[in-house]
Amino acid sequence: MDKWRVIKSKSYNGAMNMAIDEAIMIAHKEGKVKPTLRFYTWDPACITIGYFQKLEEEIDLDKCSELNVDCVRRITGGRAVLHEDELTYSIIVGEDNELMDSSITKSYKFISEGLVKGLNLCGVYTDDLNKGEKISRENLSAACFNAHASYEISINKKKVVGSAQSRKDGIILQHGSIILDFDVNKLFELIKSENEEKKQRLINFTAKKASGIENEINKKIDIKELEKNITKGVQSHFNIEFIEEDLTNYEYELAKNLYEKYSSDEYNKKR
């Protein structure tokens, strides 16, 4: 049975969270650490944008500053996510690992199945995993949660887990938000809209497409229990053994250096 590493959740700001994920990718590529499941939270709240998004065109940076919300560009694609009342996970593993399909969609489905098992252990039951949907141009926005990609996790047809995957130098990074309480109004305070009418239409549309687990089950979720059960669910589905560890000193040093990139305007405003 393969042994993987699990790192329990700690809170960092947006730049450090992204720097740590990339540092783990580098360390795993160099053979210094095992495949890793990491949990984390955000302090302060943060809006992340996909690697290919245009920050200043899509995000209201003045409003972010006013509301004390960080903003950082992810290494992964996709659209903007507000990280606040959630548990975030990341999985770092080699593309050549026998569990990971060469197809991004199939590996995404496999990881989602493990997450669903963990949610089930919390007494949270989700919709069947399905292929994604297309949305009309008029309902398209910079926000990740107003559209369902293939095999994303939903409750009552509302997306509650949003994930993104990147593959670089033979290493897979998939990270995602397990949303507990979804604040659609705050999200669209931070995302630019052409006018107030369109903004309200997008809020209404997104509220029908996305939610948080607590919003849908009308029950508070203990984040430590959630973390524990997600770990169990992924371990069972992957048929692996998790060893609880922390970041190595090497990864911390890498993350400190990468922090300069993720906190710089040069990187975050590159598009």
Active site residues: 144
Instruction: Specify the long-range contacts of residues 207-210, CB closer than 8 Å, at least 24 apart.
Output: 208/158, 209/145, 209/146, 209/147, 209/148, 209/158, 209/159, 210/145, 210/146, 210/158, 210/159, 210/160, 210/162, 210/179, 210/182, 210/184
Q: Rounded distance, CA 201 to CA 220, Å?
A: 29
The H-assigned helical ranges of 69-183 are 104-121
Helix, strand, coil share of the chain (percent; to 5): 40, 25, 35
Q: Is residue 125 helix, strand or coil? A: coil
Structure tokens at 34: 């095992």
User: Token digits for 141?
Assistant: 């926005």
How many helical (H) and strand (E) elements, i.e. helices and strands, does the chain have?
10, 10
Angle at 182 between CA 130 and CA 267, to 5 degrees: 85
